[in-house]
Structure 1
């Protein structure tokens, strides 16, 4: 994809999701080759083949909260709502998982522990095993792991002002 095509794609994305893409524009300008490799990574961050929609987004939002990035979290909230995740579930995630149905609370707690590099409670791991097959656990691992990439790049670039906790809007 050409630099102009990347810029146009970023502009469209930025308008659609009200998301500041300046850090990615700078990445593209400073290293077109590096950005091209990054662009090939982006589909992995949204890969969902085996996970139910709500499990995917609960795990993604839980992991994004660990990454502590307000703007990126807001983006994922908008994307979850756009995909049809119930606002009450998204709100429950933002409130630390309280109010989630038991199965999704387990997903939230598991994703949070994985993203935080904490030991997984064996009982929680067993409950996850009853919910998810091996393919789904792998896919959730990808969802959780990729959640930190965008805020990590922003922080490394010194974009800490645009990467901080904020009041999250629960509407499209």
Structure 2
């Protein structure tokens, strides 16, 4: 894509998700070559081949809460709802995961631990092993790892935002 096409795509994304892409436009303007490489990375952040949809989004929302508590989390809430995740699941994630079904609670706790670089409780590790195969664990790792990229870039560029309330309503 050329710069104009990237700008058009950012504008469309911004309108659709009600998300401020100003930092991405600044990135594009300041380093077109760097932005092009970043754009090539973006499909990895949404890659889902083996994980069930609910596990993917619970993992993404858990990891995003570790990395960011503002606009990026809100964006992911909107994307999860648009993907068909039940509002009650999204709400439970935003409330720390305690009201999730047991299997998803384990996923939430696991993703949070991975994103936080904490040791994984051995019993949780066993339950995750029983729930996910190696391909799914790899994919969950990619899901968690990529969640931090956007907030990290924003933070480095000085776009730090304080915590804000996250809305659950989203009409696609």
Q: TM-score range by the shorter chain?
A: over 0.9
Instruction: Give the equivalent residue in structure 2 for 1:17.
Output: 17
Partner of 1:62: 62
Whether contact under 8 Å (1:71, 1:164) holds in the other structure is no
Written as runs of structure 1 = structure 2, the 5 A alignment for 1:145-160 is 145-160=145-160
Paired position in structure 1 for 2:163: 165
- Secondary structure of the residue that 2:48 maps to in structure 1? coil
Equivalences for residues 39-78 of structure 1 within 5 A: 39-78=39-78
TM value normalised by structure 2: 0.98
- By how many angstroms is 1:171 displaced? 1.1
> What is the aligned partner in structure 2 of residue 135 from structure 1?
135
**Cα displacement (A) at 1:34:** 0.3
In the aligned structure 2, how far is the partner of 1:19 from the partner of 1:44? 20
TM-score (norm 1): 0.98
CA-to-partner distance for each residue in 1:153-172, whole Å, 9 max, x for gaps? Answer: 00000111xx3311111011
Question: Do the aligned partners of 1:58 and 1:107 also contact (CA within 8 Å) in 2?
Answer: yes
**Is contact 1:114-1:144 (8 Å) kept?**
yes
Q: What is the match of residue 123 of structure 1? A: 123
> Which segments of 5 or more consecutive residues in structure 2 lack a partner in the other structure?
none
How many matched pairs?
170
Computed over aligned residues only, the root mean square deviation of the Cα atoms, in angstroms, reads 0.6
